[in-house]
Amino acid sequence: MELSERITQITTGGSDGWETFYRARRMIAKGIDVTELTIGEHDIRTHPDILNAMHVAALGGHTGYAVVPGTQSLRTTIANRIQERTGVRTTANNILVTPGGQAALFAAHHATCDPGDTALYVDPYYVTYPGTIRSVGATPKAIITTPETGFQPTANALDLAAKGAKSLLVNSPNNPTGAVYSDATWAAIAETCKKHDLWLISDEVYDTQIWDGAHISPRALPGMAERTLVIGSMSKSHAMTGSRVGWICAPQDVITHLINLATHTTYGVAGFIQDAAEFALKQGALVEADVAAPFQRRRAISMDILQKQDIVKYVPAQGAMYLMLDIRATGMTGQEFANALLDAEKIAVMPGESFGKAAAGHIRVAMTIDDARYAAALERLIQFATNQVPK
């Protein structure tokens, strides 16, 4: 029996740069003390007050089938938050609650692309992007960025790629590069979408983690609200990665179709999780700043350490919880470096190659362990890189 091409092609197979990650996991399982700087998981857990709200909601009986689009009060809370931040009129009818940002990315592509359509994304990219696009039968097409432009897509590259495409997926603040798109980049993105009649899918799951510059949501740019689907999530902003709760904010007619899709796929998000998400959002921006604070501190620690040497190059992360380090001076690929670093120093990082062509010769470091261990690991990583430079 043959499975569908759509499902068998989600991941294209072969090496995808995740070997180091799985090797690190196996070493940890054997009891080896590995410093884990691979994935974007906080070193704190969900706040007990949020867990208490979840507990109270579950005991209060919110455990039955949930309302598929999301509870009216959570949708309204999300809409208010978006309207306050962007100034764009937003109501509950513009919101679908989803089981996390990933489900929202899938639904957004399902809503905008037919099989065979070209869907654009920016390289380096969050690992699931091409697979998400392939899973709806569309063809992913990368727009390559470079360290020289701070990993921001240029007007020219956007325009060249856009002809005949159906959608454009962007992510600012960016995983893996830490880029926060500038006014000029957003203007070019909006221009391209309007000129080539593209849907814009804007992944804003790191919108509470900005260290330099300001977060702009492209839905607020002139003429963009009717063609933009914004992806949001409680995972990064509230350390709720395991709760699986996020949203799509889009024009009302798009949401109507997305509710139909949700009815036939996820059937919504558990009611007690939705109540906890609503409680968390109602705690306001200070709580979000608390969750983001460790990454801001470690980003500052990183800049201090990195400035003292010139072997490991970097584009300063303007947002998110990662550093993208250029280790090309060692003569190694990101994959070779990550493997050798794991063997020699027991430090696990992601090879840049797992995030696309543009990140070759780089490694991504997740700033997700306590400050002192983090600083020591970064110092060791730099010393290791320095020792690898051909004499």
Q: Which residue in the set 140, 147, 218, 246 belongs to the binding site for ligand PLP (CB under 6 A)?
A: 246
Cα Rg, the chain, nearest whole Å:
21
* Footprint on residues 153-182 left by ligand PLP (CB under 6 A): 171, 175
Helix axes of 48-59 and 271-282: crossing angle, nearest 10 degrees: 140
241 binds ligand PLP (CB under 6 A): yes
Query: Which CB sits closer to ligand PLP, 147 or 246?
Result: 246
Query: Which CB sits closer to ligand PLP, 118 or 241?
Result: 241
DSSP 253: H
Helix (H, G, I), strand (E, B) or coil at 208: coil
233 binds ligand PLP (CB under 6 A): yes
Query: Which CB sits closer to ligand PLP, 38 or 388?
Result: 38
Q: Which residue in the set 190, 205, 255, 349 belongs to the binding site for ligand PLP (CB under 6 A)?
A: 205
147 binds ligand PLP (CB under 6 A): no
Between CA 187 and CA 222 the distance in angstroms is 10
Cα-Cα-Cα-Cα dihedral sign, residues 69, 71, 73, 78: negative
What beta strand segments (E) does the chain contain?
35-36, 95-98, 118-123, 139-144, 167-171, 199-203, 228-233, 246-249, 313-314, 322-326, 347-348, 350-351, 362-366
Tokens found for residue 377:
């690991």
Q: Which residue in the set 40, 124, 271, 351 belongs to the binding site for ligand PLP (CB under 6 A)?
A: 40
Specify the stretch interacting with ligand PLP by CB under 6 A; choose among 106-114, 141-149, 191-199, 233-241: 233-241
Which of 379, 282, 352 shows the shortest CA–CA distance to 38? Answer: 352
Q: Which residue in the set 203, 207, 278, 288 belongs to the binding site for ligand PLP (CB under 6 A)?
A: 203
38 binds ligand PLP (CB under 6 A): no
126 binds ligand PLP (CB under 6 A): yes
Q: In what order do the strands lie in the sheet with 322-326?
A: 313-314, 322-326, 362-366, 350-351
Specify the stretch interacting with ligand PLP by CB under 6 A; choose among 64-72, 78-86, 95-103, 156-164: 95-103
121 binds ligand PLP (CB under 6 A): no
351 binds ligand PLP (CB under 6 A): no
Query: Which CB sits closer to ligand PLP, 71 or 202?
Result: 202
Helix (H, G, I), strand (E, B) or coil at 210: strand
102 binds ligand PLP (CB under 6 A): yes
Give Cβ neighbours of residue 69 (< 8 Å, ≥ 6 apart): 75, 95, 96, 97, 255, 259, 262, 268
Contacting residues toward ligand PLP, per CB under 6 A: 40, 100-102, 126, 171, 175, 203, 205, 233, 235, 241, 246
